[in-house]
Amino acid sequence: MSVYLPLFTIAVLAFVIPILSERIGIPAVVGEIVCGIIIGGSVLGIITGAEEGIAFLSRFGFVFLMFLIGLEIDFSTIELHGLKSVVIGISIFILTFATSIVMMDQIGYGIYPAIILSCSAVGLIASTLRETGMVRTEYGQMITITAFIADFAVILLVTAYTLDLRGEIAGKKVFIPLLFILFFGVYYLGRYLIWQFPERLSKLFKSDHPSEIGVRSAFALLLIFVVLSEALGAEAVLGAFLAGVMLSSLFGGGTVLEQKLYGIGYGFLIPIFFINVGIGFNLGALGAGEGLYLIPVLFAIAIIAKVIPSLILLKEYTLKESIAAGILLSSRLSMIIAVAAVGCELGLIDAKLESAIVILAMMTSIICPTIFKWMHQEKSHS
């Protein structure tokens, strides 16, 4: 069998799914996950996700998605409203974390599971907002920034928690700020070069440049931050996001380079990631069904912990928009699965809870974006 056959299958699905999803009325991301489940080991078993190249492309697709999320942050919106969106996002996360702690304590679990449930799915949320045409709106930017703050805070909390558990925090905590020092160093260097050599740089980044220097530099910047992020003990997604933020802050939105990067990401790499998420879903993760009772409980906590804090948005938006934002922020996907796996490995959560969290991630990733899109359509028709 050709080694390219699994990739061919995924490529065909990536082409067909957006067309079918639009007709059905669900986000393409949801269709990609569902199709991945169908062709994966849980149903047909056509593809395992471990085939040559698929696993790597999926991982890189997720990293590249985080890079594009950073690229889609519109800093002109933040400048227009000051740091209001950041303050609101931080406030929502603090309330989410506190609510999760209280509710998880009621069912006998500690702080680490509350950290897990406090995250969102920035990639899935941004993809949904992109499909509804809201990613560049003030409302969409507010949701995206809030989701990023949640995932960013969860990454930092998990990093600190696990390093402390391993007794390594004293040695690592000094080095992680180096990532941010590099970020600001590259940012100010980039601003200086753009100011001093605008014509020379514009020639290098022209759309018809035969060597595609702009695309090459974007990938180089992405991988520098990703590699350094992992070397310093942080998550790769943190470095990827910072690299995207760097390009967005230096060159702004709507550039030809940005369009090319979107084409590479949303046209090829990112669909592979979402389809592979479905392929990797394992229904047997619940074992003999001991964790089944946890699923509806966790689902209720996951929704409540996001919707109630999102009522802070009532100061800026309607009740329907605030609730819709909370529902979309309730989406969880790869981040929650990865963090749960770390917790299970370190004995911070049991296998039963980990399995239930995997199911929860699949449920919220399908249900929440679909409900948000439906509420958005209802608003458009009203």
Who's near 184: CB < 8 A, 6+ residues apart?
none
Widest Cα–Cα separation across the chain: 66
- As a whole number of angstroms, the distance between CA 241 and CA 147 comes to 12
C-alpha distances (whole Å) from 186 to each of 148, 179, 183, 190, 224 are 22, 11, 5, 6, 11
Q: In the chain, what percentage of residues exceed pLDDT 70? A: 83
Q: Is the pLDDT score of 159 beyond 80? A: no
120 φψ region: left (φ > 0), alpha (ψ -120 to 50), beta (else): beta
Q: Is the pLDDT score of 287 beyond 60? A: no
pLDDT at 173: 56
pLDDT at 107: 87
The count of structural domains within the chain is 1
- As a whole number of angstroms, the distance between CA 344 and CA 6 comes to 31
User: Where residue 314 falls among pLDDT bands split at 50, 70, 90?
Assistant: very high
- Tens digit of each residue's pLDDT (9 = 90 or more) over 59-81: 898 889 888 888 877 666 666 66
User: Where residue 86 falls among pLDDT bands split at 50, 70, 90?
Assistant: confident
pLDDT at 116: 93
C-alpha distances (whole Å) from 127 to each of 32, 96, 296, 310, 369 are 12, 22, 26, 20, 9
pLDDT at 25: 67
pLDDT at 102: 95
User: Where residue 176 falls among pLDDT bands split at 50, 70, 90?
Assistant: low
- Tens digit of each residue's pLDDT (9 = 90 or more) over 214-238: 888 889 999 999 998 888 766 677 7
Domain of 63: which CATH number?
1.20.1530.20
Q: Is the pLDDT score of 274 beyond 60? A: yes
pLDDT at 81: 60
User: Where residue 289 falls among pLDDT bands split at 50, 70, 90?
Assistant: low
Contact at 8 Å (CB) between 296 and 280?
no
- As a whole number of angstroms, the distance between CA 313 and CA 315 comes to 5
More confident residue, 367 or 127: 367
pLDDT, mean over the chain: 82
- As a whole number of angstroms, the distance between CA 22 and CA 13 comes to 14
User: Where residue 326 falls among pLDDT bands split at 50, 70, 90?
Assistant: very high
Q: Is the pLDDT score of 332 beyond 60? A: yes
Would you give the distance in Å from CA 45 to the centre of its chain? Answer: 27
pLDDT at 232: 76
What range defines the domain where residue 30 resides? 5-381
User: Where residue 284 falls among pLDDT bands split at 50, 70, 90?
Assistant: low
- Tens digit of each residue's pLDDT (9 = 90 or more) over 344-357: 777 888 877 887 88
Q: Is the pLDDT score of 380 beyond 60? A: no
